[in-house]
Chain A
Amino acid sequence: MKVLVAVKRVIDYNVKVRVKPDNTGVDLANVKMAMNPFCEIAVEEAVRLKEKGVASEIVVVSIGPKASQEQIRTALALGADRGIHIETDEEVQSLEAAKLLKAVVEKEEPKLVILGKQSIDSDNNQTGQMLAALTGMGQGTFASEVVVDGEKVNVTREVDGGLVTVALNLPAVVTTDLRLNEPRYASLPNIMKAKKKPLEAISPADLGVDIAPRLSTLKVEAPAARQAGIKVADVAELVDKLKNEAKVI
């Protein structure tokens, strides 16, 4: 079966972000970018499904500026077969991203679509659920285990208070949680081979999707900084401070 994986180019997770002085957003100039960590897990899961003989082809799709092709190439180096780049320099919000992905789903007809549960920049946690809604598919969000079983897929989900397993009819949408797998590293020969794999570039207009944003960001500010506290000498002083100064115990 064909598996579609969506990946996003985001600021590297180790980077401490800086808010722009004019409060219009976060400064992304000259900042290290990378594949969103949850998307890496999605790619890894698709590759494992292919290694198990469950998936026959892995198509990876990314929406964003020209540079997003780096993240598609990374996915190809990890084992995806071909890439689709929906190129735009505009900001694409979750609902519009889901509409673009829906157009790709209609064209490619994958049996399974895997996305990360959230991107670490917008922290929205929406796109997979929205794509499932628009395509009329079932959804297995925050997956920590995915088992394809004939025409169904069993997804174990990380929920508040434990784990829940659901069975979904295929085709279905799955979003990955951190504990689904441990992504592999791309080897140099595979990075070289990935350069020759097909990568198709299209525009949102080619897919007939209007990507005008619905939400406008009025301002972006740095969070209130916490005052650095004091160091205590020992446990007795700590307990004394908590009881008599902070009055929290």
Chain B
Amino acid sequence: MSILVIAEHDNSSLKQATQSVVTAAKAIGGDVDVLVAGEGCGAVADAAAKIEGVNKVLVADNAAYGHFLAENLSELVVEVAKGYSHVLAAAGTTGKDFLPRVAALLDVAQISDIIRVESEDTFVRPIYAGNAIATVKSSDAIKVVTVRPTAFDAAPAEGGSAAVEALDTVKDAGLSSFVGEEKAVSDRPDLGSASIVISGGRGMQNGENFQMLEKVADILGAAVGASRAAVDAGFVPNDMQVGQTGKIVAPQLYIAVGISGAIQHLAGMSDSKVIVAINKDEEAPIFQVADYGLVADLFEAVPQLEEELKKVV
């Protein structure tokens, strides 16, 4: 067996999610090769070659892949995939975008967002917003799989010395083009991989009040997230959303502030190691999953939390 992992990156640095996908690939067994497709992505290829357990790194460096357009990327991956038994990518927005296209072009089913590898053809994945866990078996010749990064430990970033091989194939489907982007800027750790996350919900009342959470986050080195209610109300941008339709996080500590705990939010955070809920409604469903619950007005509790944390951290 040989497994192709498609690296997730931003052309300058490799996303940690890729290391988690390598761990999933190692659980399947066989040689693990990594494909880095992008533009000016040499540093990413070098980083991928150092991941422990990687056999070979293939690099397709071309303007056609610079913005990760699914139409171009999928044609490249389909061509490279032919020699492999498995094709894996992280279940981020890039992997979710291009990999089903790859699967359809290969005429195989895709298995989305796996949380465990049972064997080379059998995988475990959540369905119904995480309220049921399905074990599925694929009979396809090439298994196309997206991996939930938070369900697998990151493979060590150092320790490997894979050969880097350049691919000169250029696939430009001519169906789409990049127009522009709006990146959310933040100095805080990435929400998907942060070890502590503090999130606010509708109870925050407005966007300015999220500064209270940011102050706490600064002390803890945490990322700041939000519920769908807070995003829909326009308090914070949508890339901060944690839930079935937003990001899936599984930090060591998740602090939910003013979040009731709807099914779709729990789907995004219920695998956190320790969950803290601060809510003034003691009937809120979030308290059913919280390890530590504090029934209090967040506008009093959060500033106190900041003061208390200053003493101990």
Contacts and interface: CB of A to CB of B under 8 A. Distances in A.
B291 A178 contact: no
A196 interface: no
Contacts of A154: 179
Given A160-B92, A160-B94, A120 B244 contact: yes
Contact of B112 (A124, A140, A165, A179): A124
B252 A248 contact: yes
A132 interface: yes
B71 interface: yes
B96 to A, nearest CB: 5
B305 A238 contact: yes
Nearest to A144: B238
Nearest to A19: B132
A94 B294 contact: no
B93 A158 contact: yes
B247 A160 contact: yes
Interface residues of A, number: 83
Interface string A207-249: 0000001111111111100111111101110110111001011
A126 B238 contact: no
A157 B67 CA distance: 13
Contact of A13 (B67, B127, B176, B264): B264
Contact of A138 (B71, B108, B109, B289): B71
Nearest to B251: A248
A26 interface: yes
A226 B244 CA distance: 18
Contacts of B290: 229
B265 interface: no
A232 B289 CA distance: 14
B129 interface: yes
Main secondary structure of the interface of A (DSSP, over half): mixed
Interface in B236-256: 237-239, 244-245, 247, 252-253
Nearest to A241: B292
A121 B112 contact: no
Contacts of A172: 175
A93 interface: yes
B103 interface: yes
Nearest to B295: A231
Given A137-B175, A161-B183, A249-B253, A242 B245 contact: no
Nearest to B93: A159
B127 A123 contact: yes
A96 B290 CA distance: 40
Given A162-B181, A214-B138, A220-B127, A228 B288 contact: yes
B136 A218 contact: yes
B293 A232 contact: yes
Contact of A134 (B104, B108, B263, B282): B104
B189 interface: no
Interface in A72-97: 93-95
B176 A169 contact: yes
Given A26-B128, A95-B104, A226-B289, A166 B137 contact: no
B36 interface: no
A191 interface: no
A141 interface: yes
A138 B71 CA distance: 6
B192 interface: yes
Given A179-B238, A223-B132, A242-B253, A133 B93 contact: no
Given A138-B71, A238-B294, A162 B183 contact: yes
Contacts of A11: 128
Contact of B270 (A138, A179, A219, A226): A226
16 contacts: A11-B128, A13-B264, A95-B109, A125-B112, A133-B74, A141-B97, A142-B96, A154-B179, A160-B239, A160-B247, A214-B140, A220-B127, A222-B131, A228-B287, A239-B308, A249-B312
Top-4 shortest CB links A-B: A138-B175, A229-B291, A129-B100, A133-B104
Interface of B: 10, 67, 69-71, 74, 92-94, 96-105, 107-113, 122, 126-140, 173-184, 192, 196, 220, 228, 231-232, 237-239, 244-245, 247, 252-253, 263-264, 270, 273-276, 282, 287-296, 301, 304-305, 308-309, 311-313
Interface of A: 11, 13-14, 16-17, 19, 26, 93-95, 98, 117-118, 120-134, 136-142, 144, 154, 157-169, 172, 177-179, 213-223, 226-232, 234-236, 238-239, 241-243, 246, 248-249
Given A13-B263, A217-B136, 14 more contacts: A125-B112, A129-B70, A130-B101, A130-B103, A136-B175, A161-B183, A166-B179, A178-B232, A213-B109, A218-B137, A219-B135, A229-B275, A242-B274, A249-B312
